[in-house]
Amino acid sequence: MNVLDSLIEGVREDLEARRIPMAKIVAQAAQAEPVRSPLLALTGSQMKVIGEVKRSSPSKGALAQIADPAALAISYEKAGVSVISVLTEKRKFGGSLADLDEVRTAVSIPILRKDFMVDEYQFFEARAHGADLVLLIVAALDSAQLLDFYQLAQGLGMQALVEVHSEDELERALDVSPSIVGVNSRNLKTLDVDSAVFASLIPRIPSEIVKVAESGIAGRKDVIFAQESGANAILVGETLVKGSDVSLTMRTLLGLE
């Protein structure tokens, strides 16, 4: 079993432990606050940043305590982050839906629920907890699931960040006509990082699609490389949560310091 398969197995087990009747979660999703537009937030001539509320990861272990996700989210918004990504996977990332709730109420910018979306229930759950954007990992889904889940997210008013790591995955991603594609330099099956993936895949994505460079963004040179490869946005977790000054880290990444 590779790393991704192991993570998904845990996600499914945890989902079964918290699942409520479908009719109830559907009703909760319908009553949620209106969606904030991730597309609007990630569009523009300047490099955009998706900042993550992320306590730990399978590759790096513990990153930060984050006792107050709301306070961190507020610091992100003040520093100029365009979208906040909240990890809700518990076992390896230390996240929760409670984190999503806290962040949603604390800021006015769009929120990404970052988790391994493998069940229809999770999409209604995401919307019920205020998510504006969900993650669809192409490596975790077959083509039929990818299309069904993409359409489900849209039907609930949300956008999907469709994540790829290879040419084959990119081809499958483009088949669903996505608005936002993330190119992850980390292979989720092995956890190996290769930033060359940015240069090989991002230029293949049509210009009308928002292109997000994910993983391995540690300093200004990484941002420049992603931007030169054609990225419109970067997703940053470890670098922001481990820094002592979010505003300074943001300015440094964006070349404003």
* Catalytically active residues, by annotation: 52, 54, 114, 163, 184, 214-215
Q: Please, is 208 exposed, middle or buried when counting C-beta atoms within 10 Å of its C-beta (0-12, 13-18, 19+)? A: exposed
> Which run of H or E residues covers position 153?
helix 143-155
The conformation of residue 214, written as its DSSP 8-state character, comes to E
Phi then psi for 214, rounded to 5 degrees? -120, 140
Query: Please, how many CA atoms are within 13 Å of residue 171, restricted to the half-sphere of its CB?
Result: 3
Residue in 36, 47, 3, 8 with CA at minimum distance from that of residue 235: 47
Cβ neighbours of residue 94 closer than 8 Å, sequence gap 6 or more: 55, 56, 62, 87
Please spell the DSSP secondary structure of 3-65, one letter per residue: HHHHHHHHHHHHHHHH---HHHHHHHHHTSPPPP-HHHHH-SSSPEEEEEE-SEETTTEE---
